[in-house]
Structure formats: structure tokens, C-alpha cells
Amino acid sequence: MSLPRHALVTGGSSGIGKAIAQRLASAGHSVTICGRDSARLQEAAKDLSDHGAPVTSLIADVSDPRQVRELVRQAVETNGPIGILVNNAGRNGGGKTAELTDELWRDVLSTNLDSVFYVTREVLARGGIHEVDHGRIINIASTAGKQGVLLAAPYSASKHGVVGFTKAVGKELAPQGIAMNAVCPGYVETPMASRVRQAYAGAWDTTEAEVLSAFEAKIPLGRYSTPDEVASLVEYLTTEGAASITAQALNVCGGLGNF
């Protein structure tokens, strides 16, 4: 059973974030999605609404703490106290470590890790989550947050940080009745997944199709997970039945990682 609450989903305009918004809105929650690209955000909001999952959309760069403060203020003003926070916004990024630029390193860490801290802090301080029964914070990490990924040091470092942050803050919030977990997707077929394959194809001087075959060969199920499969676990973690699950990092990866 899932009590209706206000859910804020960052990076909700495509891929996993959009699938999560669809699931939570369909479950009866009021959903606010945010993103940096106005056109993509509006398109996602219209598509979700057309499929019976109306959402509120707000433009925000969650790697900027000033924009995060305004995002949370507007979200609460529009849909009330935030009872569910899904920190999903993220980006890929990597290459040979000796050739990584300061700008790439900083942007990956800022987008993937700093944003999780900024939004979580703001929701705890001013988002009203303490006023809501069964508050939930769910951070979208990665199996790359549990193991190193070749040519993806910035991404792996950022996602390891998300897992560590989740475990620490999850313990802090448990006595207050707020459950906090990380969901760790493996290979998921999203627009970002295609960009990742293109990057590896360039690094390995091969084709994207060959990279896809190599990646699928590593997955025991033999295929990428879907955004909806990730969203399904997120939805479950918002239910009353998941109340005792907290400070965990749970994989959705087709058996790619069993740690």
C-alpha cells in the first residue's frame, strides 16, 4: 500500500527519471519533476499527462544550491510538503584518467553527487518531509557505485559517493521515520546509455553495436534492464511495506552485480 504524498523527482524529463515520475503519478502521488532543459521538460510533462500521469514541471539545475532552494520552495508552494524525494539527476563522463580535464571531473561530481546533497539538505530543512508520515528519500546510484568501471573514474567516484551518502544519512534519519535508500541500476536502455556506448566505441575504435554486444554478454540475463524495471523498485520503496528497508543500496541489473 502506498499513501498519497508529494514526490519530487530530479532529472525527470527522460529515461529513468521519467519512468519514475510515471510510476509515482500513476500510484496516486502528486509529482513534481525538474530538469535543466525547458523544452525537454515541457515535452515530458505533456507526454506523462497524455498517458494519465499528470505532473508539475519546474526548471532547475540541481548542481546549483541557489536554484535548489528555489526549486524546493516552488514545489512545496505548488503541491505541498515533499513526502518522497527521488534524486535521479545525473550524467555520464569519463575517459583515460591522464587526459581528464578539471572541468569534466568537477561537472560529473557536481551533477551526480553534489546535487544529491543539495536537494536532500533542502528537503530536510525546508521541504516539509518531517511533516509527512512515511517520508522517503531514494537516490539513483549505479552498480558503478559499488565497483570500478573502466574508463569511467569520475562516474564511478560520484556514484560511490552517492552510496556512501545514502548509507550515512539513512542511519541518521531512521529514528525520525524517514527511510533513505539507493537504487543501483546496471545497464539500462536510456538516452544516456546510447551516449555511453558511443563513447566506448570511440575509445575502443569499434562500433556502438559491438559495444552493445560486449556489454550484454556480461549481463547474466543477457539484456539491458528497462527504465520501468528501475522505477518499479523505486515505487516499491515508497510503500508502507518497505518501511523497514533503509540505508541500503539495492541493485537492478539483471545479475550484472551480486554485491
Catalytic residues: 155
C-alpha cell at 135: 517520508
Q: What is the DSSP string of 137-153?
A: EEEE--GGGTS--TT-H
3-state helix, strand, coil in the chain (%, to 5): 55, 15, 30
For residues 249 and 167, is the Cβ–Cβ distance under 8 A?
A: yes
C-alpha cell at 29: 502521488
* Contacts of 202 by beta carbon, 8 Å cutoff, 6+ apart: none
User: Among residues 4, 65, 56, 68, which one has the least CA distance to residue 31?
Assistant: 56
Can you list the alpha helix ranges (DSSP code H) found in 30-151? Answer: 38-50, 65-79, 102-109, 115-126
The total of other beta-carbon atoms located within 10 Å of residue 121's CB is: 16
